[in-house]
Amino acid sequence: MTDRRASCIVPPLLLQRLLESRDAGVRAAALSTLLTTTRLRGERVVRASQVGSPPPAQARRTISDCQHRTDLATAVVARTEDGPVSADPSVNAAFDGFGTTRDYYRQVHDRNSIDDRGMRLDGYVHRGVAYQNAFWDGQEMVFGDGDGEVFTDFTGSLDVIAHELTHGVTEYTSGLEYSGQSGALNESVSDVFGSVVKQWSLGQTAADADWLIGADVFTPAIGADALRSMRAPGQAYDNELLGKDPQPGHLRDYVDLPDTEEGDNGGVHVNSGIPNHAFYLAATGMGGRSWEGPAQIWYAALLASSRTADFAAFAATTVAQAAALYGADAREAVAAAWAGVGVQPG
């Protein structure tokens, strides 16, 4: 299993862009979020389990309220598996999002929670003041409320919740290293299953899905479709405040960035657009519902991949899994999808 690091839904490059805003409040919120993210990277927060917690084989959910503080140890339990519905919409949205994601992995992939051993699902809402992110730190998921000007409450986006919990699944399977192409694959796998969980919950076909990640995280005042688009990488947003979506959708446009915090660990959130688009092409090429074929192939490939897999290696694994699971037609569809983004399986 890979080293556990906080994986955040809003990439550092976007927050760095907000530091250039003319609005002092937007700048302050972005700076505070960036500083928190830097501190969380590489950190594993270890706390004792709550007294009276159930055995780990039940994948039970607990949502706690940070009450705008940053110390998770002081958070107050707001909803449990056996408790009543909360009066707080954020608590309920997080609880329901956890349940949908858990049920997807159980029913579609026969996976028992994040670790496949019934790992409990702990969430924390209302972290800090104007915190512009949501993250998985290897042990729990934490949600900010946003600043109300650029970002809104992060519990309102099911694909964001599924994205972050899938980082945990990746930790307990291939453990894709969070750097360069393997890091971009790590991010892409989370986007893939974030989108698929949303499609599964809505009963959508691949043709009907919006293929947007984080479509609900921006306030209505921000002219942006989402954080990322799997259908059209590089076109999720384009405005003065956020700049232009930097994601490429083809290997020829791969963005070389430093393997540093400021460089997004070699552009993991940027270059994930390439494998993201490959999955979109595979799902729409195969047709039907994405969780019934393409997601099964990608999940099998995740289980079979090494920590250092690059695009070509992962592509080869998906092609092999497509052939093994569904035969020649699926193999051709997956190979064509990777060819569509310029990746030669090898």
Quick one: pLDDT band at residue 37, thresholds 50, 70, 90? low
Say yes or no to pLDDT of 1 above 70: no
Say yes or no to pLDDT of 302 above 50: yes
Nearest to 155 by CA among 147, 146, 222, 84: 146
What H or E segment, with its residue span, contains residue 123?
strand 121-125
Domain range 7-44+58-171, CATH class: alpha beta
- pLDDT at residue 4, rounded to an integer: 52
The set of residues, in sequence order, having a beta carbon less than 8 Å from that of 21 and lying 6+ positions away, is 27, 30, 241
Say yes or no to pLDDT of 96 above 50: yes
The set of residues, in sequence order, having a beta carbon less than 8 Å from that of 304 and lying 6+ positions away, is 174, 317, 321
168 neighbors 161 (Cβ within 8 angstroms): no
For the chain, what's the residue count? Answer: 346
Tokens 């074929």 — which residue? 293
Q: For residue range 165-194, what is the model confidence (pLDDT) as tens digits?
A: 999 999 999 999 999 999 999 999 999 999
Tokens 């409320």 — which residue? 145
Stretch 26-53: mean pLDDT? 62
Nearest to 29 by CA among 149, 160, 154: 149
181 neighbors 257 (Cβ within 8 angstroms): no
- pLDDT at residue 2, rounded to an integer: 45
The Cα–Cα gap between 202 and 225 comes to 19
Q: What angle do CA 127, 97, 174 make, to 5 degrees?
A: 90
Nearest to 186 by CA among 298, 337, 292: 298
Partners of 63 in the β-ladder:
79, 123
φ/ψ of residue 254, rounded to 5: -50, 135
Give the residue ranges of DSSP H helices in the chain: 12-18, 24-40, 89-109, 158-171, 180-202, 264-271, 273-286, 294-304, 311-326, 328-340
334 HSE (CA, 13 A, CB side): 28
200 neighbors 108 (Cβ within 8 angstroms): yes
The Cα–Cα gap between 198 and 175 comes to 24
pTM above the 0.95 mark? no
- pLDDT at residue 262, rounded to an integer: 86
Domain range 180-340, CATH class: mainly alpha
Quick one: pLDDT band at residue 52, thresholds 50, 70, 90? very low
- pLDDT at residue 49, rounded to an integer: 36
Stretch 68-73: mean pLDDT? 93
Mean pLDDT of the chain: 92
Amino acid present at 164:
E
Residues labelled as active-site residues: 164, 269
* Sign of the torsion formed by the C-alpha atoms of 212, 213, 215 and 221: negative
269 neighbors 13 (Cβ within 8 angstroms): yes
What token pair was written down for 36? 């928190």
Angle of helix 328-340 relative to helix 311-326, nearest 10 degrees? 160
Quick one: pLDDT band at residue 57, thresholds 50, 70, 90? low
- pLDDT at residue 110, rounded to an integer: 98
Say yes or no to pLDDT of 48 above 50: no
What residues does each domain of the chain span? Answer: 7-44+58-171, 180-340
Quick one: pLDDT band at residue 310, thresholds 50, 70, 90? very high
